[in-house]
Amino acid sequence: MTTTVKPITAPVLPDQEELIQRLLSDSPLLADTQDHLVQVVNVLETYGIVLDAYSKNLVDQGEKQLLNPFPIFRFFHEGLTPKRLWDHLLGDRINFEYAEYCQKAMFWHGTGGLDAYLDSEPFQDVCQRIIQRKAQRDPLLALTNKLYPGFAPESIRSLTTIYCLGLFWRVMSDLFVDLARRYAIKEVTCVNDVVHHIRDGLVAAAANPITYGVDVAGEKIWVLPPEAGLTFLVDVAVPYVEAVFFRGMPFLGTVSYNAQARQISPDISDFKYGALYADPIPSMGAGIPPSLCMKDMFRHLPEELGRWYDDHGRGQVDVHVQICVSFQKSMFCVTNGAIAGTMPHALDTTDADQQAANRAYAEAWSGRLMGCQRGALL
């Protein structure tokens, strides 16, 4: 008697046409299952709590650390006490280094309206005004600026990005926490509801002005003035998605930075190290920034998600890996919401030209998503 063994077939990943159809038909990129809903809502809730701390710290840095040559206490926005310092040294704290990693990615890749303004003449003029005013009372800054005239403007540029990222995360934190509230009262019951919630939140905040003013020797100086016309969605949110979700930065210890090895593209626009491309393998080593984010989220893990992890994978043994997997799925939902919120025209339009514009937009995004971890969508 012989038995027929059915071959094990790998799941079929969605191809580009499938991704295009999902984007154009208002279907979520992530499979709309109950397991995905539990993971995405709960991991976004804990991420929202973490982003609350990240946001407050980055905004505080923007307000207090301007041209500070030694910002060693920049993570103590809640106040410096012996207990907080001791907890910090023991690692019993939120890891703001991950927030700085995201800021460096935005700063380095430099896409969108914010970066364009940072290259403008008005911004360079205000940098010189700030430097000259602070240098009157800071001999170290005066000397450094004379020897290295590009250093201080670059520092102001970096701190401006820090402050703007804090403003962005303020909106996202509130959005994710509100998502959990709506899930608890059964207003959010499927993955598509999650995408719609994110889309609507981004659209509602789209026109929020992005401004930044600092106090220098008793004078309020606008670094990003209202007349610059910078807004939340196109000038900060979309550049963040580009830099952190797609491009990212090669992690030390995982690829060679040796130019002869050619493991890293010389064109940073080709980088594919962002959250949507990453293998979910947080080593918990200090050199892998997302591991720090997973640790922060683990500290605030909702009970429902903790129970779900107990019954999946290897339980609490690999909980950080499971959080990383769920987090990646949730970032596909955020990307989905951002694409939907910036679609050129309404999806139900009957105008042929508008339909063509929507399809071209969906094709551009789906082309980039083809290189991502599409297995996470199943």
Residue 291 is predicted with a pLDDT of 82
Tell the residue number behind the tokens 């703007």, with chain if given: 164
> Does residue 10 form part of some domain?
no
Within 13 A of 68's CA, how many CA atoms are on the CB side? 12
**Phi-psi map region of 229: left, alpha, beta (phi>0 left; psi -120 to 50 alpha):** left
pLDDT at 126: 97
Give the domain range for residue 249: 16-69+90-373
How far apart, in whole angstroms, are the C-alpha atoms of residue 179 and residue 288?
Answer: 29
Closest CA to 145 of 159, 127, 120, 122: 127
pLDDT by 10-residue block (mean), the chain, 378 residues: 56 93 97 97 98 97 94 93 92 90 93 93 96 93 94 96 97 98 98 98 96 93 96 94 91 82 88 86 60 90 94 80 93 96 95 97 95 92
The DSSP call for residue 328 is H
The predicted pLDDT at position 6 comes to 55
Which two tokens mark 156?
């102001």
Whose CA is closest to 359, among 378, 334, 339? 339
If one counts the domains in the chain, the total is: 1
Per-residue pLDDT, 5: 55
Amino acid at 332: F
pLDDT of residue 299: 92
Contact 127, 221 (CB under 8 A): no
Please report whether residue 255 resides in a domain.
yes
Q: Which helix (H) or strand (E) holds 339?
A: helix 319-341
Let me know if residue 2 belongs to a domain.
Answer: no
Residue 218, pLDDT score: 86
- Residue 283 belongs to a domain: yes
202 belongs to a structural domain: yes
The confidence score (pLDDT) of residue 3 equals 56
Q: Give a yes or no: residue 3 inside a domain.
A: no
Is 8 within a domain?
Answer: no
Phi, psi of 12 (to 5 degrees): -85, 120
